[in-house]
Amino acid sequence: VFAHVVQAPEDPILGVTVAYNKDPSPVKVNLGVGAYRTEARSLGSLDEMDFVKRLINPFFRLAFYPICPFVTGREAACSECEYFIYEGIRKVYYFPFLSRGEAVPDKPWDVFMSRVKEYLPITGLAEFNKLSAKLIFGADSPAIQENRVATVQCLSGTGSLRVGAEFLARHYPQRTIYIPQPTWGNHPKVFTLGGLSVKTYRYYDPATRGLNFQGLLEDLSSAPSGAIVLLHACAHNPTGVDPTLDQWEQIRQLMRSKGLLPFFDSAYQGFASGSLDADAQSVRMFVADGGECLMAQSYAKNMGLYGERVGALSIVCRSADVAVRVESQLKLVIRPMYSNPPIHGASIVAAILKDRALFHEWTVELKAMADRIISMRQMLFDALRARGTPGDWSHIIKQIGMFTFTGLNSEQVAFMTKEYHIYMTSDGSGSGAVVAKYGEKSVYFDLEDLGNT
Ligand code: PMP
């Protein structure tokens, strides 16, 4: 009965990884998928952030456990080690009963088990939701203080966007969303399948490899009143081109005057500048004016928790009772979709966000990652210049965040892949590449062969 099903094309971004995995070359490099790596792990798995690794590593947990009660604020990190210890004790405790074929009597430590792996509510871990809203909107945000924000834990950034889209399709009268041209390849599909109709606004100027600010303003000015507008909070994917604060302010004024609804996508907070607060400035400007907005947050990149699928959708409302009703409707979107979100990643994030020492360690590592990305950009730019590679490569150092829009066309990308085993996305007008992967090895590639760009 399924014989008529036709072969679907590979996802343009994840398809790059499929091709990369098939390549037996020992020097292959994958610049397609947006994942931070260093040369230490350039061919292998992701670099886990050190402090996250410590939370996850059972030996660390065991070593740390005896001193937990004496270190204030670290209790949260211990729920993980409690679980680990619980497992050990449980095995020892069970053995005599099970070996005699008797029932095991109730054990006090079952409490840990239920706390650690029980179902979460539909809206996720309440503590995680609260901390996530604080992280992006700022602890002193009036919207938070006035309880005007409805936050639900979702399946990373993608899931947050999808839940937001389905909510808007059901409860917002204007179902058109304007997305930047270009944008992350999954955006149009997420919004279309979420029930919205997708249009684009001009964003990137291939001539300057910078922002087409005039085009952006013109397109938003001619959008119908009330339309939804997708905005990348920082480190725009795939161009690496962000508006300046002054430009953000002009965008805000225009959008508010036309009643356009901002839907922020924040997948890189802390990755652009290294400062969590600086990378949230665009969002905070919109929240400060008292108007509504949506926010899809991802912890995939900034906590290195890609596969844990941790994210949050926040809807900033005009009043606390609207926020309560909005949350009740978000539950109706989520329940038939996946019932409730996974607990593990959200517990890790909450443990880090609420503990002053862990939070500090996180920001230090985040800053080091952001700085490394900036220095990798500089190294690549210097290497291209030193080889006299034709073309102006200054966009590589001007662009922000993990991605650079190289300006290579699809034939040049195909050449890079065929000759040098460098894999990256290609859409004809340019290619997104992960700058962080420009480890030592990649700057030695002979880019002169690429010809004119
Ligand atoms: N938005 C943007 C702009 C992205 O680049 C990504 C990841 N590539 C996402 C959202 C979603 O990521 P995730 O679902 O892994 O959090």
Q: Is the same domain home to 340 and 400?
A: no
Instruction: List CB contacts of 299: < 8 A, sequence separation 6 or more.
Output: 156, 305, 308, 310, 311, 345, 349
Distances (CA, A) of 146 to 4, 131, 418: 55, 15, 57
Task: Round to whole Å and give the CA distance between 219 and 236.
Answer: 18
Report the alpha-carbon angle 256-262-265, nearest 5: 150
Q: How far apart are CA 372 and CA 140, in angstroms?
A: 31
Domain of residue 421, CATH code: 3.90.1150.10
**Are 231 and 304 part of one and the same domain?**
yes
Residues 404 and 341 in one domain: no
In a domain, 6, yes or no: no
pLDDT reported for residue 60:
55
Among the three residues 294, 321, 354, which one is the final residue of a domain in this structure? 354
pLDDT score, position 214: 98
Residue pair 245/279 in contact (Cβ under 8 Å)? The answer is no
Q: Of 74, 102, 118, at which residue does a domain stop?
A: 118
Verify whether ligand 1 is closer than 6 Å to residue 157 (CB atom).
yes
Question: What are the residues whose beta carbons fall under 8 Å from the beta carbon of 354, sequence distance 6 or more?
Answer: 73, 76, 127, 131
Residues 394, 278 share a domain: no
pLDDT beneath 70: ranges in the chain? 39-87, 90, 103-116, 427-453
- Cβ–ligand 1 contact at 156 (below 6 Å): yes
Which residue CA neighbors atom 6 of ligand 1 most closely? 267
The residues that bridge with 151 in the sheet, in sequence order, are 314
371 with 93: CB under 8 angstroms? no
Residues 6+ apart with CB under 8 A from 256: 289, 291
207 and 349, same structural domain?
yes
- Claim to verify: residue 344 and residue 255 sit in the same structural domain: yes
Name residue 112's amino acid: F
Q: Is residue 347 in contact with ligand 1, taking CB distance under 6 Å?
A: no
Model confidence over 231-250: pLDDT tens digits?
A: 999 999 988 899 999 999 99
Cis bond before residue 238 (omega within 30° of 0): yes
Q: Please state the domain count of the chain.
A: 3
What does pTM read for this prediction?
A: 0.81
Res 82: pLDDT? 60
CA 154 to ligand 1 centroid distance, Å: 13
Report whether 179 contacts 187 (CB < 8 A): yes
CA 388 to chain centre: 36
ipTM of the complex: 0.99
* Pocket of ligand 1 contains residue 273 by CB under 6 Å: no
Is 183 in the same domain as 330?
yes
Range of the domain at 57: 50-118
* Separation between Cα atoms, residue 248 and residue 217, nearest integer Å: 11
Do 175 and 196 reside in the same domain of the chain? yes
* Closest residue to atom 1 of ligand 1, CA basis: 267
Q: Is residue 441 part of a domain?
A: yes
Tell me, yes or no, whether 62 and 169 share the same domain: no
Q: How far apart, in Å, are the Cα atoms of 56 and each of 48, 115, 116?
A: 10, 17, 14
**Which amino acid appears at position 231 of this protein?**
L
Q: Using the 8-state DSSP alphabet, how is residue 435 labeled? A: G
| Cα–Cα nearest to 318, from 343, 290, 346 | 290
Distance CA 441, CA 27 (A): 8
Strand partners, 152: 313
Q: Quick one: pLDDT at residue 281?
A: 98
**Under 8 Å CB-to-CB from 327, ≥6 apart: which residues?**
123, 150, 152
Domain assignment of residue 4, yes or no: no
At 285-319, the pLDDT tens digits run 999 999 999 999 999 999 989 999 999 999 999 99
Which residue in this structure is represented by tokens 């058109």?
Answer: 176
Pair 267, 286 in one domain: yes
With respect to residue 7, please indicate whether it lies within any of the assigned structural domains.
Answer: no
Neighbouring C-beta atoms of residue 409, cutoff 10 Å: 18
Kindly state whether residues 243 and 305 are assigned to the same domain.
yes
Measured in angstroms, how far is the CA atom of residue 157 from the centroid of ligand 1? 5
From residue 350, give the alpha-carbon distance in Å to each of 36, 153, 250, 441. 22, 11, 35, 37
The reply to whether 385 falls in a domain is: yes
pLDDT at residue 423, rounded to an integer:
86
Q: State the distance from the centre of ligand 1 to the C-alpha of 293, rounded, in angstroms.
A: 19
Residues contacting 198, CB < 8 A, separation 6+: 176, 177, 179, 187, 188, 191, 192
- Could you tell me if residue 256 is inside a domain? yes
Q: What residues are labeled active site?
A: 184, 265, 301
What residues contact 12, with CB distance under 8 A and at least 6 apart? 185, 425, 427
Q: Do 278 and 379 fall into the same domain? A: no
Ligand 1 pocket member 34 (CB < 6 A)? yes
Please indicate, yes or no, if residue 41 is contained in any of the structural domains.
Answer: yes
The CA distance from 99 to 300, in Å, is 45
Of 330, 354, 378, which marks where a domain is finished? 354
Q: Is residue 3 part of a domain?
A: no
